[in-house]
C-alpha cells in the first residue's frame, strides 16, 4: 500500500477509508500561502501535518459501508417480533460538505425489529461511520434510517438529529445559539401518531438534546 496513505481502525475493528496525507499536507500549505500566511514560520510549520491527521479521522467513513456494523444480528424466536428499541443522545460530529466546517450534536434512534435485533453498540457505529464523511445533516438522517431499515429488515425506523452547524454559528448569519433538527422515518414509524409516541420517549417534547459539544 502507498505509504502516503493513512489508515486507522475504529473500536469495532472495521477498516477505515484511507486518506492521502501527503496530498492533504501539500494542499494545506498551498491554502496557507493563498491566504497570505507563512507556512514555514513557527506555529504553522506543523499545521499541514496536523490537518492531514485530523482529516484522516474526520473522513474515515468515506467508502465504508455502515452495514458492516449490522452483519451479526440476533434472530428472535419463531413467531415473535421485537419490541420498540430507543437509543437517545448518541453524540456525533461531521463535516458540512458546503464549507468543510463541523457540525455536531446528538442522534436519537428508534426501531421496531422484525425478526432480528442488533447489539446496542452497533447503533453509534452506524451513526459515526455515516457522519465521518462530507455530509449534510438532512442526508445523514436519511442514510441512518435507510441503513437500519435495510440492514435489520426493521418494521419501522425513526431517526432524529439535533446539531449545531458551525457554518451557521461562525460565519454568515452567525446564529451562535441555534440548532438544527432533522427527522427521517421508515415503515411503521412513518405515521404521525407513531412518531408522536416515539418522540415522547426520546424526550423531544421536554428537552433540546445536548448539543453543546
The arithmetic mean of pLDDT across residues 113-137, rounded, is 95
Cβ-based neighbours of 88, under 8 Å, separated by 6 or more: 106, 108, 202, 203, 209
Asked if residue 147 lies in contact with residue 154, where contact means CB atoms within 8 angstroms, the answer is no
Q: How does pLDDT run across 50-78, given as a tens digit for each residue?
A: 999 999 999 999 999 999 999 999 888 77
Q: Span 153-160, mean pLDDT?
A: 96
Indicate the pTM of the whole model. 0.84
Rounded mean pLDDT, 91-115: 95
- Tell which residue, 137, 145, 185, has the closest CA to residue 162: 137
The residue-averaged pLDDT of 117-146 equals 97
Domains contained in the chain, CATH given: 5-58 (1.10.286.10), 73-202 (3.30.1130.10)
- Quick check: 139 pLDDT over 80? yes
Structure confidence at residue 1 as a pLDDT band (50, 70, 90):
very low
Mean pLDDT across the chain:
86
pLDDT at 156: 97
Q: 52-56, 106-110, 117-121, 205-209: which has the minimum mean pLDDT?
A: 205-209
Residue 16's pLDDT is what? 44
Neighbours of 37 (CB within 10 A): 14
Q: What is the pLDDT of residue 82?
A: 78
Q: For 40-45, what is the mean pLDDT? A: 95
Backbone phi, then psi, for 157, in 5-degree steps? -140, 140
Instruction: Determine the longest span between alpha carbons in the chain, in angstroms.
Output: 69
Amino acid at each position: 500500500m502507498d505509504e502516503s496513505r493513512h489508515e486507522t481502525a475504529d473500536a469495532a475493528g472495521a477498516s477505515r477509508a484511507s486518506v492521502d496525507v501527503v496530498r492533504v499536507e501539500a494542499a494545506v500549505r498551498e491554502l496557507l500561502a493563498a491566504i497570505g500566511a507563512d507556512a514555514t514560520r513557527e506555529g504553522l510549520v506543523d499545521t499541514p501535518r496536523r490537518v492531514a491527521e485530523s482529516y484522516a479521522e474526520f473522513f474515515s467513513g468515506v467508502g465504508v459501508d455502515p452495514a458492516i456494523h449490522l452483519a451479526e444480528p440476533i434472530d428472535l424466536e419463531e413467531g415473535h417480533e421485537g419490541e420498540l428499541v430507543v437509543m437517545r443522545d448518541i453524540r456525533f460530529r461531521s463535516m458540512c460538505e458546503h464549507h468543510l466546517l463541523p457540525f455536531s450534536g446528538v442522534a436519537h434512534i428508534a426501531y421496531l425489529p422484525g425478526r432480528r435485533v442488533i447489539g446496542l453498540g452497533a447503533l453509534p457505529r452506524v451513526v459515526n461511520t455515516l457522519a465521518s464523511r462530507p455530509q449534510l445533516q438532512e442526508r445523514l438522517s436519511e442514510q441512518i434510517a435507510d441503513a437500519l431499515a435495510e440492514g435489520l429488515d426493521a418494521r419501522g425506523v425513526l431517526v432524529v438529529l439535533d446539531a449545531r452547524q458551525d457554518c451557521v454559528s461562525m460565519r454568515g448569519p452567525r446564529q451562535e445559539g441555534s440548532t438544527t433538527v432533522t427527522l427521517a422515518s421508515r415503515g411503521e414509524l412513518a405515521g404521525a401518531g407513531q412518531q408522536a409516541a416515539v418522540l415522547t420517549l426520546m424526550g423531544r417534547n421536554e428537552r433540546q438534546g445536548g448539543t453543546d459539544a
